[in-house]
Amino acid sequence: MFDFLFKTAKVEPDLSFLAVDMHSHLLPGLDDGLKEVEKSVEFIKELQKLGYQKLICTPHILSDLYANNRETILPKLALVKQALADAGVNIKIDAAAEYMIDPEFADIVGKAKKEDFLTFPGDYILVEMSYLAPTPVFEQTIFNLTMLGLRPILAHPERYSYYHSNFERYERFKDLGCKLQVNLLSLSGGYGPGVKKTAEKLFKNEMVDFLGTDMHHERHLNMLKDLATKKEFYALVKDAELKNKELLS
């Protein structure tokens, strides 16, 4: 699939094999991502140039820090869609959310229905945990989500540094039915060598289900554009059975 790419040190950026970016913070003014709709349009145009056909924006939902819900997220999605139409940009864009698994979210899940959550096609739901320490309620919450008929995707497992020396935890998450989504920027080295090494190990162990940008700002965009020129990146991911295209519908 990528044989033509390996004849030179650098290659033309082409992320079209992914088709869908399913993790980004491009909706303006909702979290620590973009702040202005004009920037949303600018970034989306750049991602389209890289080969994406569809973008699913995933604002943080994190207790009181980013207290988002359908009522805050969907109007911003409509705003960006209108801005794209006005700019003549033809690309699919949708919204879900990135849910922080903490005790408050665990309590919500215990009382919720599947329809209460912003999800992806196929009933996938994107979740994350704290970067500081393991989340005690994580496994029970994953189980409860699956009992609701949802299919959890753990965002950027390579960034939880407390698991870097305990790789069996990633295997445990897979056994629980949790899909794993690696950040493209992790493969660029943007979060440090330890994160990059773990992301690569997840690929080499055939454990990666999705690749996402986790796009927040200009530096992320520049890092992504640089990564997309590296033949080593395509060599690493070329045999992975990624599920991004399942989200095109």
Whole-number pLDDT of residue 43: 98
Q: Residue 10: which pLDDT band, with cuts at 50, 70 and 90?
A: confident
How does pLDDT run across 215-236, given as a tens digit for each residue?
Answer: 999 999 999 999 999 999 999 9
In the predicted model, is pLDDT for residue 154 greater than 70?
A: yes
Name the CATH superfamily, with its identifier, for domain 15-248.
Answer: Metal-dependent hydrolases (3.20.20.140)
Q: How close are the terminal C-alpha atoms of the chain, in Å? A: 23
Average predicted confidence (pLDDT) for the chain:
96
Alpha helix (H) ranges present in the chain?
Answer: 37-49, 70-86, 103-111, 138-147, 168-175, 184-187, 193-204, 218-227, 231-237
Whole-number pLDDT of residue 207: 98
Measured CA to CA, the distance from residue 20 to residue 56 in angstroms comes to 7
How does pLDDT run across 50-93, given as a tens digit for each residue?
Answer: 999 999 999 999 988 999 999 999 999 999 999 999 999 999 99
C-alpha 40: how far from its chain's center? 17
Whole-number pLDDT of residue 63: 83
Q: Residue 4: which pLDDT band, with cuts at 50, 70 and 90?
A: very low
Measured CA to CA, the distance from residue 116 to residue 61 in angstroms comes to 13
In the predicted model, is pLDDT for residue 209 greater than 60?
A: yes
Whole-number pLDDT of residue 107: 96
Q: Residue 94: which pLDDT band, with cuts at 50, 70 and 90?
A: very high
Q: Of the candidates 219, 215, 231, which has an alpha carbon nearest to the alpha carbon of residue 183?
A: 215
Q: At 245, which amino acid appears? A: K
How does pLDDT run across 100-149, given as a tens digit for each residue?
Answer: 999 999 999 999 999 999 999 999 999 999 999 999 999 999 999 999 99
Q: Where are the domains of the chain?
A: 15-248
CA angle 165, 32, 96 (to 5 degrees): 85
Measured CA to CA, the distance from residue 68 to residue 100 in angstroms comes to 11
Whole-number pLDDT of residue 64: 80
Using an 8 Å Cβ cutoff, are 58 and 25 in contact? yes
CA angle 199, 163, 24 (to 5 degrees): 50
pTM, two decimals, is: 0.95
Whole-number pLDDT of residue 8: 58
In the predicted model, is pLDDT for residue 14 greater than 50?
A: yes
